[in-house]
Amino acid sequence: MTRSRQWLLALAALAVAAVVLFPIYWMLLTSMLPSELTRSRDPVLLPRLSALSLDAFAAVLARKPVLTWLANSGIVTVGATFISLVISTLAGYSLSRFKSRAQQGAGFVLLVSKMLPSSLIVIPFFIGFSTFGLIDSRWGLIVANAAVGVPFATWLMKGFFDGIPRELELAAMLDGCSGMQAVWYVVLPLSKPGLAACGIYLAIVTWSDFVFARTLVTSPDRWVLTVGMQSFLGEYLVDWSSLMAVGALSLAPVFVLFLLLEPFLVSGMTQGAVAN
């Protein structure tokens, strides 16, 4: 392929990226422009740089408990990701090394859990959590999010462990390691990329959760960001600049995590792992 042809392709990809990312661009622009420019019947697509400001961010932080929502989202995401990751690492290792009937069962459970609408699974959660007094508690929210993450994360981790040859563990054991030591010193360091990818995936999913947070938590001081954003929509006149500012704040960590995760997704797909 000639050099100019390559640049043409790059230009085409740039155009595609510009079109598909326009909604994100528009969100950022709305959050940084004064509202007389955005609440206009002829909005400017490319404003002057001098018109941009972070006033809407300052205003919304002063007017709404955005930092509380942010902290709640952070706590729930870290908690649920950690629990899910530990459980599914153990289970993934087991499924990878011990062939059993559980293997086929795991595949089936994975498919079933992928089919359930979260608006449906939240009903029994609501009933069960009411029984155990877990409604309106961050712990309840962590447990709910961790649970729905386990099946897929287990499948991911099994795939990563399958890629690490058994012979490495056997060699370590011949050199005098116990079974536990072989796993701890040989297998786990090798599966670091897998753990990272799996953790990032779980974090993105939990951070995005809306249904559980909306249904299982009621007090405004325990709201997470997604529920906080919804509260803007109930107002008579939606304050779009503020809402887009909160949206931008809550998208920022996802954006960073996704850039880290993306190479794993592309290579993971080649190995047949499927994320959706």
Partner 1 sequence: MIGRSRWVGYALLSPALLAVGFLILYPLYLVVATSFRQGKTLNVLRLSELPFGLANYRTILASDATWHSVAVTIVYLLGTIGPAFLIGLGAALLLNRTFPGRRWLRSFILLPWAVPGVIVSIVFLWLLDGSFGVVNALLRQAGWLATDLAWFAHDDTALAAVIVPTVWKAYPFFTLTLLAALQAIPASLYEAARVDGATSWQRFRYITWPGIRPSATLAAILNTLWALREFDIIYLTTGGGPDRATETLAVRIYQEAFAFFRMGTASTLGVLTMTIAVLLVLMSMRTIRREYF
Residue of 79, 194, 199, 247 that binds partner 1 (CB under 8 A): 247
Residue 44 vs 67, nearer CB to partner 1: 44
Tell me the CA distances in angstroms from 68 to 74, 208, 227, 232, one per residue in order. Answer: 10, 17, 12, 16
Question: Residue 170 CB, nearest distance to partner 1 (Å)?
Answer: 7
DSSP label of 136: T
Asked if residue 206 lies in contact with residue 80, where contact means CB atoms within 8 angstroms, the answer is yes
Question: Residue 130 CB, nearest distance to partner 1 (Å)?
Answer: 5
80 binds partner 1 (CB under 8 A): no
Subset of residues 252 to 271 that bind partner 1, contact rule: CB under 8 A: 254-255, 257-259, 261-262, 265-266, 269-270
Subset of residues 107 to 136 that bind partner 1, contact rule: CB under 8 A: 107, 109, 111-128, 130-131
Residue of 32, 66, 141, 151 that binds partner 1 (CB under 8 A): 151
Structure-block tokens of residue 267:
């290579």
Subset of residues 16 to 75 that bind partner 1, contact rule: CB under 8 A: 16-17, 20-21, 23-24, 26-27, 30, 38-43, 45
Question: Residue 127 CB, nearest distance to partner 1 (Å)?
Answer: 5
Helices (H), the chain: 3-20, 22-32, 35-38, 55-63, 66-97, 101-115, 118-131, 138-162, 166-174, 179-182, 188-190, 192-208, 211-216, 225-233, 240-270
98 binds partner 1 (CB under 8 A): yes
Question: Residue 242 CB, nearest distance to partner 1 (Å)?
Answer: 11
Tally of CA atoms within 13 A in the half-sphere of 234 that contains its CB: 5
Q: Quick check: helix, strand or coil at residue 163?
A: coil
Provide the phi-psi class of 136: left if phi over 0, else alpha when psi is between -120 and 50, else beta: left
Residue 53 vs 184, nearer CB to partner 1: 184
Residue of 147, 190, 195, 196 that binds partner 1 (CB under 8 A): 147
**Angle between the 192-208 and 240-270 helix axes, to the nearest 10 degrees?**
150
Subset of residues 170 to 229 that bind partner 1, contact rule: CB under 8 A: 170, 173, 179-180, 182-183, 204, 207-208, 210-211, 215, 226, 229
